[in-house]
Amino acid sequence: MLTYEPGDTVVHALDPRAKLAVQIGFATTALAHATPRALAGLTAFALAALGLAQVRPLRTLYAYRFALAILAVGPLVAAATLGPPWVDLEAGLATALAGYRVLLVLLVSAVYVRTTPIRDSRAAIQRTVPGKPGQLVGVGVALVFRFLPVVRSDLRTIRDAMAARLGTERSARERATTTAMNGLSRTFARADRLSLALRARCFSWNPTLPELAFSRRDAPALGIAVALTATAFL
């Protein structure tokens, strides 16, 4: 599971708004270009970002394994036809290139998640989007990043409990149904406890968030964000 990890890399020291700008610029140009030359440049950029943030590529790919499975199936489905010639290689290739661009965007997003505390992300969103909408989005992002690891831990516990009770001997459909039902039950129970905990702690829509300020080290990142966005229109 991708979560924030403290560090002293160059990327950790950047303002979260600068990192968000780079992400947006990268996603914009990645979705706009599909030529081999553009993909090679985008791949080099994504690998460089992972290196600067000291994020291991293989570990990141493992964290995205379910998304990778969906991206891998996409070209096969797109290439299949209901009649002759039965396989459309051009359609499959186009879908594969689109999936690869999505993968690059996910890798750059992993850099942001690994190097940015949740409170800083919330502060960046609320200072960028004014008013209640920004507060709502900021709270949503903070809760999602904190809630998802707990839900995944519950699912692992359910699977381990099933395995200890010879649940692996059941059919795949029965295992999936049991896991889904128990997972939903635990998720709703945790959501209820979370709601109660927020009320007990006088939850505030506008808490004291960490101070954010651009510095000289953010200038290159902002320049890269502008350049990436501009290339999307070339």
Tokens of 97: 């290139």
Residue 93 pLDDT > 70, yes or no?
yes
pLDDT digit string (tens) for 14-66?
999 999 899 999 999 988 888 888 889 999 999 999 999 999 989 888 888 88
pLDDT at position 202: 66
Helices and strands, number each (H, E), in the chain:
10, 0
CB of 110 closer than 8 Å to CB of 5? no
| 204 — pLDDT class (breaks 50, 70, 90) | low
DSSP per position, 173-219: HHHHHHHHHHHHHHHHHHHHHHHHHHHHTT--SS--PPP----TTHH
Tokens of 49: 């970002």
Q: Which residues of 67-77 are buried (b: 16+ CB within 10 A; e: fewer)?
A: ebeebeebbee
pTM: 0.73
pLDDT digit string (tens) for 184-195?
888 888 878 877
Cα–Cα distances (Å) from 118 to 133, 209, 231, in that order, read 18, 11, 30
Query: What's the DSSP call for residue 169?
Result: G
pLDDT digit string (tens) for 132-160?
677 667 767 777 767 777 777 888 888 88
